[in-house]
Amino acid sequence: MAKEDLPAIAPPATTGQPTETASLPPRTDHRRSFLKGLGVVGAALSVGSLLKTDAEADDDDHHHRRFIPRGDVAILRFLAAAEILETDLWQQYNELAGVQDDEVPGGSGNAAYAEAVNALDEDMSQYIHDNTEDELTHELFINAYLVSKGAEPVSLDKFRNLPSSKATGAQQIGRLTNLMQLTVDTTWFTRYRSRSQNPDFGDMLPQAIPSLAVGQHPAIPRTDADVQEGNFLQAIGNTAGFHFATIEQGGTSLYPQLAQRVTNLEVLRILLSIGGTEIMHFQTWSDKAGNAPPVSATDPVTGVSVTFPDLNSPPLGGEDFQTNLIMPEPTIFLNKKFPACSIIRPTKTMGAAKAALDALTADGLFIGQSKEFFRFMHTLAFEADLARREDF
Ligand SMILES: [Fe+2]
Ligand SMILES: [Fe+2]
- Residues whose beta carbons lie less than 5 angstroms from ion ligand 1: 83, 86, 135, 138
Quickly list DSSP for 241-269. Answer: HHHHHHHHHHHHHHHHHHHTT--SHHHHH
What per-residue confidence (pLDDT) applies to 392? 58
Smallest-distance ligand from the CA of 137: 1
Secondary structure of residue 295 in the 3-state scheme: strand
| Dihedral angle of Cα 340, 278, 112, 312, to the nearest 10 degrees | 0
**Ligand nearest, relative to CA of residue 138:** 1
Q: What's the CA-to-centroid distance between 171 and ligand 1, angstroms?
A: 22
Q: ∠ CA 80-90-310 to the nearest 5 degrees?
A: 125
| Residue 351: predicted pLDDT | 97
Kindly report, residue by residue over 206-227, the tens digit of the pLDDT. Answer: 999 999 999 999 999 999 999 9
Q: Kindly list the distances between the CA atom of residue 91 and the CA atoms of 84, 131, 151, in Å, as whole numbers in the listed order.
A: 10, 9, 27
The ligand that comes nearest to the alpha carbon of residue 139 is 1
Query: For residue 7, how far is its CA from the centre of ligand 2 (angstroms)?
Result: 35
Distance, CA 73 to ligand 1 centroid (Å)? 17
Local structure of residue 297 (DSSP, 8 states): E
Q: How many whole angstroms from its chain centre is CA 348?
A: 16
The closest ligand to the CA of 282 turns out to be 2
Amino acid identity for residue 380 in this structure: L
- CB atoms within 5 A of ion ligand 2 belong to 86, 248, 251, 278
pLDDT confidence of residue 313: 85
Chain mean position to CA 137: 13
Residues of the chain short of pLDDT 70, as ranges, are 1-65, 392
* Ligand (nearest to CA of 248): 2
Ligand 1 centroid to residue 13 C-alpha, Å? 26
pLDDT per residue as tens digits for the range 136-174: 999 999 999 999 999 999 999 999 999 999 999 999 999
Q: Please state the pTM of the whole predicted model.
A: 0.84
Contacts for 106 with CB less than 8 Å, ≥ 6 apart:
91, 94, 95, 100, 171
Encode pLDDT of 182-202 as tens digits: 999 999 999 999 999 999 999
